[in-house]
Structure 1
Amino acid sequence: MTELAHFSLENERGKEGAERPVLRFSGSLSISRFGSLPADLEKVEGPVAAIDLHDVTHIDTIGAWLVHSHALKWDCPIEGADEDASRLIEAVKAGDGSAGEVAVHAHTVPPLQRILAQIGEATIVAGQTLIGLIGFFGATLITGWDLIRHPSRMRWNAVIQRFEVVGVSALGIIGLMSFLIGIVIAQQGAVQLRQFGMEVLTVNLVGRLTFRELGVLMTAIMVAGRSGSAFAAQIGTMKLTEEIDAMRTIGVSPMEALIMPRILAAVVLMPLLGFYSSVIAIIGGGFLCAVSLDIPPITFIQRLREVVPITDLWVGLIKAPVFGLIIGMTGCYQGLQVKANAEEVGLRTTSAVVQAIFVVIVLDAFFAVFFTWVGWT
């Protein structure tokens, strides 16, 4: 067994013939063999002329630090250290700064270079995400075609459950949001139109804006924040706990069991939720017109039928399933990218919501230009 560390304070004759106190260590100067050595050393009052390590059989970093700290305390040299011990003591000495101030040079990057690096990194991530989404869209189409050819493989229970989560459970919050948006549109429009004595055109503003744009767009943003984030978090957690790998191992396709029910629910329910949102927003606008502008509900509805073309309804209903597809795909895709740790779940969930809203707004702009080009104005 390795000998415990010991020390002794002895007087020995130096080269000049004078007596000098020498602190002599012996045994193993490793933390596991210290015993009461550190406490006993504190009782040595000194002065000590030298520290002798001739009889030390082993030394580790803690032992080297102990020797070095007491050599500093008594301002004495260290003698008898072998090559390994000397190298370790020098490393400890260099690390504590006693050998001189250690120059630390902060790594500074010029602001322009840092901004360009961040832009380049964001561009690379955006390109990789775009390529990944295109590939995921292809996988979704292939899985959808397989399910059309083999309807018995479709998990209808999962689809119905997603219908409830995406649609039924969202009716309350979407209805409240739409009602308030209808009131805000009517109120702000009436304030501006009153300057020209055209308050009656508030009906035109509320009707066309909600059916054509805001009803579906605000619903898509709400579904992205509510259901898209849930998709990413649920699938990301399953990916982190290796449940998806287990499904593949037993022969169950995650695309069929997890992805398609969620995407199908978002695609089917977005037109219904968009229409529901538009109707509630119209009710909110009609309520404010009745209270603030003295426009009776019957007059409001008649005016609405005159000024809102049926194409506005079709525009909203055509955009809605596309938005639902984007939201479902983005949420599921980001969930499948989770790896390494639980922090990834939060990051991917945030990315799913941000990307879904961004793509929805960009597509909405393209739809606006397209429908104007085809004459649906």
Structure 2
Amino acid sequence: MPTAGNSLTIKDGTVILHDDWVLSRFTELRREVRSALSDTAQTVERVDWSDLRQLDSAGASLIAELLGSERLAQLAESDPELATERKGLLLTVAHATSTESSPPVPPSGLLHLLAVVGRWISGFARDQKLLTGFIGQTLTTILAMLPHPARWRLTSLVAHIQRTGLNALPIVALLTFLVGAVVAFLGATVLERFGATIYTVHLVTFAFLREFGVILAAILLAGRTASAYTAQLGSMKANQEIDALRASGLDPIEMLVVPRVLAMVISLPFLTFVGMISGIVGGAMVCLYSLDISITQFLSIIEREVPLNHFLVGLGKAPVFAFVVAVIGCLEGLKVSGSAESVGQHTTSSVVQSIFMVILLDAIAALFFMEMGW
């Protein structure tokens, strides 16, 4: 049975197109195409284009819907009577509307691993390049502010020192005290086998003066303060407050970043000192109650056998760690795209990157100081 309409006839496997197949008649033509699709299940063997007057991409898409993209491409390609320009249009639309594609070949295990590693290295290099540029911008802003005391934001600086340093003192002291006790207990357990429990004093003192005091304080600030910086600046970015500062002619780096960075650079050395003292006190408590080493003897060993350079090495790393952690926290906050989800993602990234950079820099510093004999 033939299927007929004003612009479309299907008879004996032949589709006959009439009149204009253009955008202005799209609704009418689509109704005829869908009616023809529901009324017939004949296999189309050829298309009669002789009565077709005008054709554009909208009409060609309806012909592709009627015949199927693959079948339209076959018929248009094999029809010698079809004009060249119409054949090109039909083939382009057929290829554009084709949903059939070869399934993607899953990468092999090795190729997938190499791709993942390559993406990670590329992302890491991009992040480090961005971090380096932001560090340079921050240092440039600080140097530009130094000769102009009127630009110093002392109120903001003091407020951030209180939040960063004073409010973090209890948790830093408690954590380092407990870690000092654990280090002393484990050291005594091992050294007891060799009859050298007295060297537990050296172990605890060296560990906290050179490494644990500054590392634990820096990691705590990375989780506590860097994440807060990211969340604060990220919320401001999401609320377009930073854009408002720029529109007002104010520099967000000078207004928001510099006080936070300087506050952490000032606070971390004091927190490191508190961490060193608390860790040593924790170790001293274990020595006193488990090893029968009196406080007087403990302090005498420190005074006699622990050089001052260990304290200076640990304290000297604190400003560097503080600067890197603060810059990462601020940078991640400024990278927020504007949604609450983005704030959460960059806050997590800030903590992970800060801790990673602290451990990386500490490892580099340890190798350097070892080679220098410090």
Normalising by structure 2, we get a TM-score of: 0.75
Alpha-carbon distance in structure 2 between the residues aligned to 1:330 and 1:170:
19
Closer, same or farther in 2 for the Cα pair 1:63/1:217, shift >3 Å? Answer: farther
Amino-acid identity (%): 36
Pairwise CA RMSD: 3.5
1:105 aligns with 2:103: yes
Alpha-carbon distance in structure 2 between the residues aligned to 1:282 and 1:61:
86
1:139 to 120, 137, 151: 137
Shift of 1:341: 3.7
Shift of 1:286: 1.1
1:355 aligns with 2:353: yes
Alpha-carbon distance in structure 2 between the residues aligned to 1:113 and 1:152:
58
Which shows bigger deviation, 259-268 or 134-143?
134-143
Q: Which residue of 2 aligns with 1:44?
A: none
Shift of 1:107: 4.1
Task: Note if contact 1:239-1:339 (Cα within 8 Å) is conserved in structure 2.
Answer: yes
Q: Which residue of 2 aligns with 1:179?
A: 177
SS of corresponding position for 2:127: helix
1:275 aligns with 2:302: no
SS of corresponding position for 1:195: helix
Q: Superposed, which structure 2 residues align to 1:142-291 within 5 Å?
A: 142-291=140-289
Closer, same or farther in 2 for the Cα pair 1:64/1:88, shift >3 Å? Answer: farther
Alpha-carbon distance in structure 2 between the residues aligned to 1:289 and 1:90:
88
Closer, same or farther in 2 for the Cα pair 1:197/1:265, shift >3 Å? Answer: same
Closer, same or farther in 2 for the Cα pair 1:67/1:319, shift >3 Å? Answer: same
Closer, same or farther in 2 for the Cα pair 1:65/1:358, shift >3 Å? Answer: farther
Shift of 1:370: 2.5
One-letter amino acid of the structure 1 residue matched with residue 356 of structure 2: F
The structure 1 segments of at least 4 consecutive aligned residues displaced by more than 4 Å after TM superposition are: 57-72, 82-92
Alpha-carbon distance in structure 2 between the residues aligned to 1:219 and 1:246:
35
One-letter amino acid of the structure 2 residue matched with residue 205 of structure 1: L
Task: Note if contact 2:265-2:322 (Cα within 8 Å) is conserved in structure 1.
Answer: yes
Q: Superposed, which structure 2 residues align to 1:3-82 within 5 Å?
A: none
One-letter amino acid of the structure 2 residue matched with residue 270 of structure 1: L
1:371 to 350, 353, 369: 369
Shift of 1:134: 1.7
Shift of 1:254: 0.6
Task: Note if contact 1:147-1:154 (Cα within 8 Å) is conserved in structure 2.
Answer: yes
Which runs of 5 or more structure 1 residues have no equivalent in the other structure? 1-13, 16-21, 26-56, 95-101
Closer, same or farther in 2 for the Cα pair 1:195/1:247, shift >3 Å? Answer: same
Task: Note if contact 2:37-2:66 (Cα within 8 Å) is conserved in structure 1.
Answer: no
Shift of 1:276: 0.4
Task: Note if contact 1:64-1:89 (Cα within 8 Å) is conserved in structure 2.
Answer: no
Closer, same or farther in 2 for the Cα pair 1:88/1:276, shift >3 Å? Answer: same
1:117 aligns with 2:109: no
Alpha-carbon distance in structure 2 between the residues aligned to 1:64 and 1:185:
83
Closer, same or farther in 2 for the Cα pair 1:290/1:112, shift >3 Å? Answer: same
- 1:136-183 Cα deviation digits (max 9, x unpaired): 121112111122110111111111111122112212221221111001
Pairs aligned (count)? 324
Task: Note if contact 2:205-2:302 (Cα within 8 Å) is conserved in structure 1.
Answer: yes
Task: Note if contact 2:223-2:351 (Cα within 8 Å) is conserved in structure 1.
Answer: yes
Alpha-carbon distance in structure 1 between the residues aligned to 2:231 and 2:28:
48
Alpha-carbon distance in structure 1 between the residues aligned to 2:240 and 2:300:
58
Alpha-carbon distance in structure 1 between the residues aligned to 2:170 and 2:101:
62
Q: Which residue of 2 aligns with 1:311?
A: 309
SS of corresponding position for 1:149: coil
Looking at secondary structure, tell me which structure has more helix per residue: 2
Task: Note if contact 2:239-2:338 (Cα within 8 Å) is conserved in structure 1.
Answer: no
Closer, same or farther in 2 for the Cα pair 1:292/1:250, shift >3 Å? Answer: same
SS of corresponding position for 2:146: helix
SS of corresponding position for 1:109: coil
Task: Note if contact 1:64-1:88 (Cα within 8 Å) is conserved in structure 2.
Answer: no
Closer, same or farther in 2 for the Cα pair 1:90/1:316, shift >3 Å? Answer: same
- 1:303-351 Cα deviation digits (max 9, x unpaired): 2222221111111111100110110111111222222543332222222
Alpha-carbon distance in structure 2 between the residues aligned to 1:158 and 1:186:
40
Closer, same or farther in 2 for the Cα pair 1:65/1:276, shift >3 Å? Answer: farther
Which shows bigger deviation, 222-231 or 102-111?
102-111
Alpha-carbon distance in structure 2 between the residues aligned to 1:61 and 1:278:
82
Task: Note if contact 1:337-1:348 (Cα within 8 Å) is conserved in structure 2.
Answer: yes
Alpha-carbon distance in structure 1 between the residues aligned to 2:229 and 2:252:
13
Task: Note if contact 1:182-1:206 (Cα within 8 Å) is conserved in structure 2.
Answer: yes
SS of corresponding position for 1:261: helix
Shift of 1:204: 0.8
